[in-house]
Chain A
Amino acid sequence: MSENVSRRQLLYEAAAATLSGTLGVQAAQHVHRAVTQQRRAARGPYKPRYFNPHEWRTLARLTDLIIPADEHSPGALAAGAPEFIDLLCRHNVELAAMYTGGLAWLDREMERRYGKNFVDAAPEQQTALLDLIAYRKNDSPELAPGIRFFDWLRKMTVDAYYTSKVGIADLGYQGNVGMTEFNVPEEAIQYALRRSPFGGE
């Protein structure tokens, strides 16, 4: 907390200084950047508080499949998505029950199809099942529990990813810094307008 306060105090002073003309936008941005770079020091490996080790492995695999690392950026694992879901499940029994049930459903379904639980099945077997439950158009009485669970899992993985540092960086978000002027570059506007069939020139 004290860090946050001093950080905001800095910002306020930066703005006050900008007002009186003693601090340029470069300096203001520097303040913003410097203070947002405080990160939690690296800790040891995370120990799940709600999920058992098997569920934890399964959950980690699933979130990694939903948002994988690619040439652009790290994926859901680096964004702490399983940890986020673990935290939420610890705080909400209904959510926790949904995860326990959903993960068990996945294992049963994999056993039935391939004689293996989800996380130990081959990657193609895992993705074949995802291809079924990731789309509402495949809805059937048989798949309904899986589709519903996956919908939640995907939502929460997406939320976890795009509220994380790596996820927001993946989007290319440039903001949460100080600027003295707001200007959209002419090229950006032309890019949008020129491509319009009857807009721009």
Chain B
Amino acid sequence: MQDRYDVIVVGTGAGGATAAYVLTLAGARVLNLEAGRMLDPVKDFHTHTWPWELKFRGFGPPGEYDGLWKINEYTAHLYTNPRKDRYRSDPAFHWTRLRAVGGRTNTWGRACFRHGPLDFKTKSLQGFGEDWPIGYEDIAPYYDKVERLVGIVGAKDNYFNMPDGIYCGPPHKPRCGEVLLMERARKIGVPVLLERTAVLSVPYDGRPACHYCGACGHGCDVRARFSTLDAVIPKLRKRPNYTLRTNATVYQVLTDENGRAAGVSFFDSLTKEYYEVRSRAVVLAASTVESGRIMLNSRSRHHPNGIGNSSGLVGRYLMDSVKSGAVVGVLPLLKNRVREDEDGAGGAHVTIPRFNYNRKDNYYGGYFILCGTGFGRGVSSAGGITGWGAALKRQIRQEYGATLSLRAYGERLPDYHNYFEIDPDNKDAYGIPQVRFHWRESDNDRKMMEDMYGWMEEILRACGAERVVPYKKYLEPMGDATHEAGTARMGTDPKTSVLNPFCQSHDVKNLFVTDASCFVSLPGTHGITTLIMALAWRAAEYLAEQLRKGEI
């Protein structure tokens, strides 16, 4: 590492890699700090591993991952285990962390639907929540750039409030059950669109097309799905003005005698040795919660409540999609089908977008529904099986590939009382104070939940479900949707917001935050990541210009 950099970017996930990319290409000397290690897709991802090749058949040691989320034998070496790096929450908050180059883009769900005009002007156009200080027209050109970088496939849908994107290839064709869903849902007025996804259907940007093995959730060993690890960082490492320092766990933003950002301090993740590095500007993109944690932990004479926190709003207005449980139906129309290879591009090839724009509901906002069908790699014991013997085996064989599962993700309204703060009694392995979460389910969340379950049942019935696996109506703990956002919201008034419309701190002009911290709302549209990247791109372009002009 050199002594002095123009910009230190913290994090190599969606927000960090994008900011580093734009700044590096603009000629700035960039130091990119990443808490995790470098991954090798060939060695680190279990893309083609059969369950019987793993000691515990994919489940992991008994009890080991019970009560955890997203962690199993395929992914345990990637995600941070909350039993090893503990935090408190009241009630339970499901915080998903993946510390490695690429962050959570290594295992993400890859859905890339654009947010539309209504989503940025929630209050003035929809009559609830709050408006962003920017509109769709400000972000649209950056969506264009991001989508070209990411490589997205999809269809021109011309769907209300979900502008079409720039696609590098045709959408993936729907599976049999997905065709059925499209036919049947339409008849009850529920739209089903082809998935817009960051999984290549054609070779693009030096990466191969998907070979349809359906295993993206374990990480893709051939780089056919977008991750910053595979598609952005390699481009940067060729540049002399870009330096990547892995295993660097950032602790604080350092300040100078005027209270401006002077650099950061970090611990080497392996040796736990302490370092300080200097720069003209600092960009935090360690993911929403981690960036807020760094800010709150950066207390100094000038910033007694944490850097950039004169408003007291860092950590406040925490949002994550309102996420239902799964509702699963057995569709006789799909029973006893000729077996096909339906792995496809991991995840569904279709999606149900928000469809309540023309309705008067008793709640605010809307939601999208994710669908799962197909002949998967094995079946799970979870689906309410009963009996024993030849009959049980026959039933499983018949219902294999005949189920349709649905799960809804909805808009969460910003609420001051949903927040994280620094936990005075809990530090991590480096001695860095950990966060603590507080949140509550709102009346709006519960009303939306009733509507979600109602429609999911309705859709299954429309598809001819003979049996809906018994379920309880509930909402997953906040965090479970992995769409945390809002805890350093952008705005024009320094008293009611943390960042300005360029993700720049109101208080500290050379401090930027380019992950979902800046979100003002969290609409019911599937695609937080490309929005993070578009905002990061715009912020980094602005910062590069400020650096060039010598204003920072």
Contact = CB atoms under 8 A, between A and B. Distances in A.
A173 B378 contact: yes
Interface in B146-182: 172-177, 179-180
Given A5-B42, A175-B214, A188 B337 contact: yes
Given A19-B209, A92-B63, A192-B180, A163 B57 contact: yes
Interface string A1-19: 0001101110110011011
A200 B180 CA distance: 9
B56 interface: yes
Contacts of A7: 48
Given A175-B343, A192-B179, A182 B375 contact: no
Interface of A is mostly: helix
Given A92-B62, A154-B381, A15 B224 contact: yes
Interface in B326-348: 332-334, 337-345
A159 B390 contact: no
A198 B381 CA distance: 33
Nearest to B47: A8
Nearest to A151: B386
B211 A188 contact: no
Name, among A9, A170, A192, the residue most crowded by chain B CB atoms within 10 Å (CB to CB): A192
A182 B389 contact: no
A200 B176 CA distance: 13
A82 to B, nearest CB: 14
A18 B211 contact: yes
Given A8-B221, A136-B386, A171-B375, A19 B203 contact: yes
A75 B50 CA distance: 19
Interface in A7-38: 7-9, 11-12, 15-16, 18-19, 28, 32, 35-36
B281 to A, nearest CB: 38
Nearest to A70: B390
A113 interface: no
Contacts of B332: 195
Given A68-B389, A173-B377, A163 B51 contact: yes
Contacts of B376: 173
A88 B203 contact: no
B49 interface: yes
A19 to B, nearest CB: 4
Contacts of A121: none
Contact of B42 (A12, A164, A175): A12
Contacts of A92: 61-63
A155 to B, nearest CB: 4
B176 A184 contact: yes
A171 B397 contact: yes
B341 A177 contact: yes
Contacts of B41: 12
A171 B213 CA distance: 17
Contact of A192 (B222, B333, B345): B333
B213 A176 contact: yes
Contacts of B400: 171-172
Contact of B173 (A70, A135, A184, A198): A184
- What is the predominant secondary structure among interface residues of chain B facing chain A? loop
Nearest to A189: B179
B283 to A, nearest CB: 32
A144 B337 CA distance: 38
Contacts of A165: 50, 52
A28 B209 CA distance: 13
Interface string A166-198: 011011111111111111110111011101111
Contacts of B47: 8, 11
Interface residues of B, number: 73
B93 interface: no
B392 A67 contact: yes
A193 B183 contact: yes
Contacts of A105: none
B271 interface: no
A60 interface: no
Contacts of B385: 154, 158
Contacts of A95: 62-63
Contact of A184 (B49, B342, B345): B342
Contact of B341 (A8, A11, A167, A174): A174
B248 to A, nearest CB: 27
B213 A158 contact: no
Interface in B37-53: 41-43, 45, 47-53
A18 B202 CA distance: 11
A199 B378 contact: no
A176 B338 contact: no
A25 to B, nearest CB: 8
A184 B179 contact: yes
A182 B337 contact: no
B44 to A, nearest CB: 10
Nearest to A160: B57
Given A67-B392, A67-B393, A163-B51, A196 B343 contact: no
A177 B174 CA distance: 18
Contacts of A167: 378
B129 interface: no
Given A8-B221, A162-B396, A173-B378, A196 B208 contact: no
Contact of A11 (B58, B221, B342, B464): B221
B390 to A, nearest CB: 6
A106 B52 CA distance: 30
B372 to A, nearest CB: 15
A53 B480 CA distance: 44
Contacts of B43: 5, 8
B381 A155 contact: yes
B440 interface: no
A75 B388 CA distance: 12
A159 B386 CA distance: 14
Contacts of A177: 213, 341
Contacts of B379: 158, 162, 171
12 contacts: A8-B221, A68-B393, A88-B56, A88-B62, A91-B61, A94-B63, A173-B377, A174-B341, A176-B215, A179-B212, A189-B180, A193-B179
Q: Across chains A and B, which 8 residue pairs bring their CB atoms closest together, nearest first? A: A172-B339, A163-B51, A175-B343, A15-B222, A92-B62, A163-B57, A178-B211, A174-B341
